[in-house]
Amino acid sequence: MSQMNDPDYVREQYASEDNLETRRSVWQPTAEGLDPVNEALNAIDRALVGDADVLEVGCGTGAMAERINALPGVTLVATDFSERFVELTAARGVDARQADICYLPFDDASFDVVYAGWMLYHVRDLDRALNEVRRVLRPGGTFVAVTNGNDHIADLLRAAGGKPAITQFSSETGEFVLGRRFGDVRRHDLETRAVFGDHAAAQAYLDSFDEGLVLPPFEGEREYAGHVTVFEAR
């Protein structure tokens, strides 16, 4: 998906919650019952020492922000550049602000933990974004980032005439990219599953990317493999 970090595409893609909700609804945990969102929350929780300032970048509809906000001792600020997502996140009782990760409106060393879930592959200038994360983190602070691998739903994309989504921040590149700014980078790889009740559900998932992909008809339920990595960097 070449348009993954095209600012016009990204802005349009997240002007409302429809695309994100369509995609989120199909994901099932790994065979061991592990959910990447829970694993990311555990990583954030592990990084907290007493009272802590936490920043979420690219918070989407605020589902994770609400869970981070409920962790004991946390003061959270959630940011996204979509006005609609800031509104939805604020409605969950979270301090939500509109901001681009490349221009964070915070002082140096303001946060103990920064969380970025499935958003660094959308950023136009990844170096600048990561410099901003490093700048606002306190020394010894932790950055938790979640992303997909190159083979994430690759069989589904191929079946619909598309290509696997090779992005700038993936399971394959994340360790190297983060290693340039953080001394200690850990990873947790998770094999998830997208389950579609019928052909229409799978086609709706593809339509949410607005790439014109068409999946040949099939009967019954289908499952496609996903690949997600939770990175912890400090």
Ligand X SMILES: C[S@@+](CC[C@H](N)C(=O)[O-])C[C@H]1O[C@@H](n2cnc3c(N)ncnc32)[C@H](O)[C@@H]1O
Judged by the rule CB under 6 A, the positions of this chain that interact with ligand X are 10, 14, 20, 57-60, 64, 80-82, 85, 100-102, 117-119, 122-123
Considering the complex, state which of residue 44 and residue 119 has its C-beta at the smaller distance from ligand X: 119
Considering the complex, state which of residue 17 and residue 175 has its C-beta at the smaller distance from ligand X: 17
Give residue number: closest CB to ligand X. 60
Query: Cα 114–122–202 angle (5° rounding)?
Result: 110
Rounded least distance, CB 38 to ligand X, Å? 12
Rounded least distance, CB 122 to ligand X, Å? 4
Considering the complex, state which of residue 22 and residue 30 has its C-beta at the smaller distance from ligand X: 22
Q: In angstroms, rounded to a whole number, what is the distance separating the alpha carbons of residues 20 and 22?
A: 6
Q: Which residue shows structure tokens 């936490």?
A: 54
Backbone angles phi, psi at 35, to 5 degrees: -110, 130
Rounded least distance, CB 23 to ligand X, Å? 8
Q: DSSP labels for 45-96?
A: HHH--SSEEEEEES-TTSHHHHHHHTSTTEEEEEEES-HHHHHHHHTTT-EE
Q: In angstroms, rounded to a whole number, what is the distance separating the alpha carbons of residues 88 and 194?
A: 25
Q: DSSP labels for 132-146?
A: HHHHHEEEEEEEEEE
Considering the complex, state which of residue 115 and residue 182 has its C-beta at the smaller distance from ligand X: 115
Rounded least distance, CB 50 to ligand X, Å? 26
Q: Which amino acid would we find at residue 63?
A: A
Considering the complex, state which of residue 6 and residue 199 has its C-beta at the smaller distance from ligand X: 6
Rounded least distance, CB 220 to ligand X, Å? 29
